[in-house]
Chain A
Amino acid sequence: DQQVKQNSPSLSVQEGRISILNCDYTNSMFDYFLWYKKYPAEGPTFLISISSIKDKNEDGRFTVFLNKSAKHLSLHIVPSQPGDSAVYFCAARGPNSNSGYALNFGKGTSLLVTP
């Protein structure tokens, strides 16, 4: 059962504009959320995170918003740059009957930033 869902497999944005990547989750016990960026043939690289007690966290061009009532989070990248082109994974941490402290990942959204 997929507890973390990224319903948009791909997104294309022009350079300089805002990229918005969305993520939904089903487990209300998740207490920490992370976004990872992944290039082909490499491991995921940590981007930004947010605790469930917050609704916004900002780091430079990256901002993550959390709406707990909707079980929804989003990653905003502004302005978008061609180097941001990668696959972005949403992940959630929390009590899980099967994996303790492990992260639950979505399937990823492939972002393409065009010049």
Chain B
Amino acid sequence: DTGVSQNPRHKITKRGQNVTFRCDPISEHNRLYWYRQTLGQGPEFLTYFQNEAQLEKSRLLSDRFSAERPKGSFSTLEIQRTEQGDSAMYLCASEGPNYGYTFGSGTRLTVV
């Protein structure tokens, strides 16, 4: 296991379509985070899982966004009825002991 894996790396979708991203964390990490990064900004927290439990959700996570982490392993982030404002880099991170956060390479979403 070499790190956090995110798929797809890039996604172009038409406005109004649904999209789903996947994150495979480092296997022994039980905390998993989703962040969003737009141009000129730092990553912004979206949501957080401790094992399979979704414990925190940001105000940024509108009703069109939903995240799951079945069985406490991989996680998915779904955006329904995408809008142009959803265009961003979506980053997944998993946390190990001693605050060891590791980020994936991200999924770049473009809504046209």
Contact = CB atoms under 8 A, between A and B. Distances in A.
Contact of A41 (B31, B100, B102, B108): B108
Interface residues of B, number: 28
A99 B105 contact: no
A46 B107 CA distance: 19
Contacts, number: 67
B45 A98 contact: yes
Most B CB contacts (10 A, CB to CB) among A4, A34, A99, A107 go to A99
B43 A99 contact: no
Contact of A44 (B6, B31, B43, B108): B43
B106 interface: yes
A28 B104 CA distance: 29
Interface in B26-74: 31, 33, 35, 40-45, 48, 55-56, 58-59
Given A42-B105, A42-B106, A34 B42 contact: no
Given A89-B42, A105-B42, A98 B58 contact: yes
Contacts of B55: 100
B109 interface: no
16 contacts: A4-B42, A41-B108, A44-B91, A44-B103, A89-B43, A98-B58, A98-B59, A99-B58, A100-B48, A101-B31, A101-B48, A101-B95, A105-B43, A105-B44, A107-B40, A108-B41
Given A34-B101, A36-B103, 7 more contacts: A43-B105, A44-B43, A98-B59, A99-B48, A100-B48, A104-B45, A106-B42
Interface of B: 4, 6, 31, 33, 35, 40-45, 48, 55-56, 58-59, 91, 93, 95, 99-106, 108
